Amino acid sequence: MTNNYAVIMAGGVGSRFWPMSTTATPKQFLDVLGTGKTLLQLTFDRTVQLCKKENIYIVTNKEYEEMVSLQLPDLPKENILAEPCRKNTAPCVAYGCYKIYNKNKNAKILIAPSDHLILNESAYLEVINKGYQASKKEVLITLGIKTTRPDTGYGYIESSAETLDDFTDFNKVKQFTEKPQIEKAKAFHSDQNYFWNSGMFIWSAESIIKSFEEHCPSLHLIFKEGNNDYNTSSEDQFIADAYNKCESISVDYAIMENAKNVYVLPCDIGWTDLGTWGALHGTLENDSNTNAVLGKNIITYDANNNMIANTQEKLMVVQGLQNYIVVNTEKALLICEKNNEQMIKQFVTDLGENETYKNLI
């Protein structure tokens, strides 16, 4: 495990989980599953079984640095990498990987979001260890999730029949497709060569550095300049300057969709991207009327297929609603049709532009 490393991305706002997830306390810092642990803590607990805690880095926004430290007291404080501003996932990944490469040229790195649910932990650990082993090849590995439905909220990976030398479980990627329309999603679901894009990656430090150099030279030049600053007292100032120069771009667009050495490892690990209330509804145990209830003091009458959450002591009585999201927090009440939950992100944008309500997001 000496060369096993992990970079956990924990800087997002989680606006589609509003009003429970807010800018001040995004969903990765919340116990949205009612387990007694936050999503970040659950992710860390999984990861520490794969590599030493000293080899786990959390990349987060500077305003959440203290929150990470409080929630993960076993993590060395120097392993919290604070971004001065949000520039999407490519700079986030580059920061973690260039810093690790500066420390250990033989590092094998897992990139994982902090807010995903993994129900089959033993299968997950087996899959990641396979990825660590295969990363000794000069390849970029992505985890592909076997689809269970035609979902328009996920990106898709198309695999080819070509496999990776000694690692025949890994198939070369033909192409990535961003969130498709429903007809395409149905076709992808019925085709065994398509998988959901989990947003989890594994590679050697050397492979990802070469990939940045080839496919995103602007970011490569920026983060390469920090070789004398990483793991020193001057790192924070370097990163502050570096992020001012970075473009805002995802690692998918910057690297994965352009590289020719990308392989997918198909897996069935009980994965859910808890990106929306609808996804949470499908994860939580449902009552006899297929309502998913989170919190207490909730009573339903003639209500079906709803996602209902209550963070307060106040009693909630829900009658007659079907296919709705109802979320009650201290500062806001959301009532939204499940079929239109993609609008929640727009609600948050609109509220942010309103002087009266922007403090509620």
Write down the domain spans for the chain: 4-273, 277-341
Conformational region of residue 196, where left means phi above 0, alpha means psi within -120 to 50, and beta covers everything else:
beta
pLDDT value at residue 342? 86
- 215 burial via Cβ count (<10 Å: 0-12, 13-18, 19+): middle
pLDDT value at residue 170? 96
**pTM over the 0.85 mark:** yes
Interval 26-45 mean pLDDT: 94
pLDDT > 90? residue 274: no
pLDDT > 90? residue 358: no
pLDDT > 80? residue 1: no
**% of the chain residues with pLDDT over 90:** 88
For the domain spanning 4-273, the CATH number is: 3.90.550.10
Interval 65-69 mean pLDDT: 97
Interval 89-105 mean pLDDT: 97
DSSP summary character for residue 106: T
**Which helix H or strand E contains 309, and what residues bound it?**
strand 307-310
Mean pLDDT rounded to a whole number for the chain: 95
Interval 312-317 mean pLDDT: 95
What is the CB-side half-sphere exposure of residue 201 using CA atoms within 13 A? 24
pLDDT > 90? residue 316: yes
Cα–Cα distance list, 346 to 171, 277, 327 (Å): 37, 15, 17
Interval 89-107 mean pLDDT: 97
Using CA atoms, how far apart are residues 67 and 35, in angstroms rounded to an integer? 19
- 355 burial via Cβ count (<10 Å: 0-12, 13-18, 19+): exposed
pLDDT value at residue 151? 85
Higher pLDDT, 132 or 150: 132
pLDDT > 80? residue 65: yes
Q: Is the peptide bond before 180 cis (omega within 30 degrees of 0)?
A: no
